[in-house]
Amino acid sequence: MNTILQTENLTKIYKIGKVETHALRGVSLDIKQGEFVAVMGQSGCGKSTLLHILGGLLSPTGGKIIIDDEDLSKVTDARRTDIRRRKIGFVFQRFNLFPTLTADGNLRLAERIHSGNGGNAERRREVLSLLKLENKMNNKPLELSGGEQQRVALARAVINNPAIILADEPTGNLDTENSHIVLDMFKELNERYGQTIIMITHNPNAAENCNRIINMRDGLIIDE
């Protein structure tokens, strides 16, 4: 398998006044295309910082991040934004759905941002159906349960077939049933479509769905 995402000696230091916090202390990763990877560790170990840097939402203090042979530290801000928009889908604990739009409308907006056109209604129905939301297409976020909102957020992240999906505790606030639906969707995307998935999780049961588990502590990878 080809390498789709790579980091070399990645560091991140947060500064508040004279106080420095070393969130990442030299993280080197090699993620192959089509892998389903879990990143685990206690709160504060640096895993969410790592995910945000992988997605181009944060800049590292040092080291490299390479996506599809492009070094993000050497491209313009506009190019970095374009890579993020075209190649990466994000799933966060906070849903960040537009409250005035329906489930279908939230997906349609994501399509428009990605491609500039009206999108693909058949594709939207397929994705919502995989997440058991086919009867909720015309519901707005306040008309959905928390689990349903998280599933709409997941649908929005994958609607444009990103090569890489970055998920930050996607089942952290979900009950067992909704967790299973979300994880089944990830497995479907990974096995059927070959999408690369990197998932931050505290939950060992969720991590068991992955084919690789990376453990972090104190800003370092301690084992796989």
> 15-19 long-range CB contacts below 8 Å, 24 or more apart?
none
**Is the pLDDT at 74 greater than 80, yes or no?**
yes
**Is the pLDDT at 222 greater than 70, yes or no?**
yes
Q: How far apart are CA 187 and CA 193, in angstroms?
A: 10
188: buried, middle or exposed (CB in 10 Å: 19+, 13-18, 0-12)?
middle
Tell me what the mean pLDDT of segment 147-170 comes to.
91
What residue ranges do the domains of the chain occupy?
A: 3-223
DSSP E strand stretches across 62-194: 62-67, 70-71, 88-91, 164-168
Two tokens at 181?
Answer: 């639906």
Domain 3-223: give its CATH code. 3.40.50.300
Tell me what the mean pLDDT of segment 99-111 comes to.
93
Query: pLDDT exceeding 70 applies to what percent of the chain?
Result: 99
* 3-16 and 62-67 beta bridge pairing: antiparallel
pLDDT at 118: 66
**Is the pLDDT at 78 greater than 80, yes or no?**
yes
**Is the pLDDT at 115 greater than 80, yes or no?**
no
